Amino acid sequence: MIDPVSVPPAIEIARRATLRPMAEVAAGMGLGAEFLEPYGAHVAKVRLEAVEALAGRPRARYVVVTAVTPTPLGEGKTTTTVGLGQALACIGTRATIAIRQASMGPTFGIKGGAAGGGYSQVVPFESLNLHLTGDLHAVTAANNLLAAMVDNHIHAGNALGVDPQGVTWRRVLDVNDRSLRNIVSGLGSKQDGVPRETGFDITAASEVMAVLALARSLQDLRARMGRIVVGYTGSGEPVTAEALRAAGAMTVIMRDAIKPNLLQTLENTPVLVHAGPFGNIAHGNSSVVADLIGVHSGDYLVTEAGFGSDMGAERFFNIKCRTSGLVPDAAVVVTTVRAMKLHSGRHRVVAGRPLPPAMLEESPEEVWLGAENLLAHLAIVRRHGVTPVVAINAIEGDHASEHAAIREIASSVGVRAAVCTHFVDGGKGAVELAEAVVEAAAEPGEFRMLYPDDAPLREKIETIATEVYGADGVDYLPAAARHLDNYERAGFGSLPVCIAKTHLSISSDPKLLGAPRGWRLPVREARANVGAGFVYLVSGDMRTMPGLSSSPAAERIDIDEDGNVVGLY
């Protein structure tokens, strides 16, 4: 058994860290201090001029970290991303890490922060998890300005002929609040607006957030803002933010938010933290701008895609890489013994509760029973022509025989695997993984996307459903089918597609474990995120505004007598 190790809470480890001045961190990336805009002592914005200044330098190896279908507890993907970046430095290479920003909805909900954990985390801890430089607030403000201008336009005469019932643009908030999912706005007197049904999404699900993550420059951001479709006229014509004359002001709000944030790990590896689209709702990847900087700032750029390879990695390959023009050299697929055992079908794991005692018993047999999920994720990565490496994230209570079983499963399909103890040991605990990644990234690859731009929308959806999710086909509710037809007629058919579905199964049903077969993907809703540059499908009972649990983390977060944050994890 892996010996229990007492690791202090992440926030305590972070407070004991020795941090370097940001100019030194940037210098390690080849960035001069003239490209930095300090936000306190240990956070800085990176000016967009850095993209062009670094463009002529050699390109780093580009590594994406993804995972198997996670348990509700998560498998430590961010921690592994950070640990790998630190480990690459341990073996004498220069690495930069790129991750998403934390949403305060999950931070105050049940998930906690998004800085990694143990001795593989990004610091300053409180800054990363609470506001950082205010980018998410800028997204919220820009989104809600547009919503206000939509309603004001309708109230002030509606010269564009916007159908009040055809408005698709919703307000957002960076808080989990189920009571705002469906509301009626404009109640009161005539001067209080036009009543209509609408609702709120969480900020990370806003199209403005997706635009921030995919824009390549400030001018590209401005153009994408203008293309946002907020609703339709009575005759079905799309109405854009440009037509409402809102896109310019939205871009002004976002002018600083488009600059990536520079932080560091506990071992002083540089980390670009930028944009935070959710991996089960939006495309789940950090920003293109951060990658365009990071890919020319060392030997390796390690980035992370949300949830399993069927979610964030599929969108990384088919949406983000399509936009950035960057080609990945290797992919790390994170797994844990508990994830493998969950997919054996013998256990039930609930977020916020301890693992079932039977799950902690030594059982390589159960690891083998859960093998088809890991094998399915490795196949998804290989379907895109990328070499995978399995990272076995060791957790207290694991047994060596179970780690050996995962190695054997990976080896059975010719994939490298490494046991990682970076949570406890920092970078040195992921050296085996770093060495495997270096080998994998050096292999010649033939990266390929799942579908061409000119394929019809339904063909793109069905390709993902059958070749990634393992579905037999796709079933469209009438409204979704009608919207897809309208999008093709409006000229949106060349866009890639982003399917919002559960992250707890490769299928659309969270109860189906392993690699389910004999099912069909239900599509109940279709939206055109034209500004972001993809068509957005909703499958199953997905919520774009989460709710709080019966015991949210917010109940335990406070300040002590000295003004220090307590209860944040």
According to the model, what pLDDT value does residue 553 have?
85
Provide the CATH topology of domain 15-133+257-442: Rossmann fold (3.40.50)
What is the rounded CA–CA span in Å between residue 429 and residue 441? 20
User: What would the pLDDT profile of 285-298 be if each residue is shown by its tens digit?
Assistant: 999 999 999 999 99
The token duo for 399 is 């047994």
Q: What percent of the chain has pLDDT over 70?
A: 99
What is the rounded CA–CA span in Å between residue 121 and residue 263? 11
The answer to whether residue 351 scores a pLDDT higher than 80 is: no
According to the model, what pLDDT value does residue 564 have?
86
The answer to whether residue 4 scores a pLDDT higher than 60 is: no
According to the model, what pLDDT value does residue 243 have?
98
Domain 457-539 classified CATH 3.60.20.10?
Answer: no
Give the pLDDT band of residue 3 (cuts 50, 70, 90).
Answer: low
State which H helix or E strand residue 499 sits in. strand 497-500
Identify the DSSP state of 285. Answer: B
Identify residue 234 by its one-letter amino acid code: G
Phi, psi of 363 (to 5 degrees): -160, 80
* More confident call, 283 vs 141: 141
User: What would the pLDDT profile of 41-98 be if each residue is shown by its tens digit?
Assistant: 999 999 999 999 999 999 999 999 999 999 888 899 999 999 999 999 999 999 999 9
What does the mean pLDDT of the chain come to?
94
Report the relative pairing of strands 497-500 and 534-539 from DSSP bridges: parallel
3-class secondary-structure state, position 259: coil
According to the model, what pLDDT value does residue 540 have?
80
The token duo for 151 is 């309603």
The answer to whether residue 305 scores a pLDDT higher than 60 is: yes
According to the model, what pLDDT value does residue 1 have?
56
Q: What mean pLDDT is predicted for residues 358-363?
A: 91
User: What would the pLDDT profile of 185-196 be if each residue is shown by its tens digit?
Assistant: 999 999 999 899
Q: What percent of the chain has pLDDT over 90?
A: 82
Q: What mean pLDDT is predicted for residues 487-505?
A: 94
User: What would the pLDDT profile of 139-181 be if each residue is shown by its tens digit?
Assistant: 999 999 999 999 999 999 999 999 999 999 999 999 999 999 9
CB count within 10 Å of CB 404 equals 15
Identify the DSSP state of 184. Answer: E
Residue with tokens 């088809």: 372
Task: Report the chain's terminal Cα–Cα distance, integer Å.
Answer: 26
The answer to whether 7 touches 394, Cβ cutoff 8 Å, is no
Phi, psi of 408 (to 5 degrees): -65, -40
According to the model, what pLDDT value does residue 112 have?
67
The answer to whether residue 216 scores a pLDDT higher than 70 is: yes
State which H helix or E strand residue 390 sits in. strand 388-393
User: What would the pLDDT profile of 415-440 be if each residue is shown by its tens digit?
Assistant: 999 999 999 999 999 999 999 999 99
What is the rounded CA–CA span in Å between residue 164 and residue 231? 8
Name beta bridge partners: 535. 497, 528
The answer to whether 554 touches 569, Cβ cutoff 8 Å, is no
According to the model, what pLDDT value does residue 97 have?
98
The answer to whether 355 touches 338, Cβ cutoff 8 Å, is yes
According to the model, what pLDDT value does residue 554 have?
87
Q: Which CATH architecture describes the domain 137-253?
A: 2-Layer Sandwich (3.30)
Q: Do domains 137-253 and 457-539 have the same CATH topology?
A: no
> CA-CA distances (angstroms) from residue 530 to 225, 364, 496?
9, 48, 10
Domain regions of the chain by residue span: 15-133+257-442, 137-253, 457-539
User: What would the pLDDT profile of 444-485 be if each residue is shown by its tens digit?
Assistant: 889 999 999 999 999 999 999 999 999 999 999 999 999 999
According to the model, what pLDDT value does residue 471 have?
98
User: What would the pLDDT profile of 378-399 be if each residue is shown by its tens digit?
Assistant: 999 999 999 999 999 999 889 9
Residue with tokens 């997919």: 343
The answer to whether 127 touches 249, Cβ cutoff 8 Å, is no
According to the model, what pLDDT value does residue 227 have?
97
Cite the beta strand spans of 6-141 per DSSP E: 36-38, 44-46, 61-67, 95-99, 116-117, 120-123
CA-nearest of 41, 44, 42 to 33 is 44
CB count within 10 Å of CB 155 equals 15
H-helix segments, 259-329: 288-294, 314-315, 321-324
Give the pLDDT band of residue 104 (cuts 50, 70, 90).
Answer: confident
The answer to whether residue 511 scores a pLDDT higher than 70 is: yes
The answer to whether residue 352 scores a pLDDT higher than 80 is: no
The token duo for 273 is 């933290």
What is the rounded CA–CA span in Å between residue 502 and residue 513? 12
Q: Provide the residue count of the chain.
A: 569
The answer to whether 202 touches 176, Cβ cutoff 8 Å, is yes
According to the model, what pLDDT value does residue 94 have?
96
User: What would the pLDDT profile of 312-343 be if each residue is shown by its tens digit?
Assistant: 999 999 999 999 999 999 999 999 999 999 99
The answer to whether residue 569 scores a pLDDT higher than 90 is: no
Phi, psi of 222 (to 5 degrees): -60, -45
What is the rounded CA–CA span in Å between residue 114 and residue 271? 13
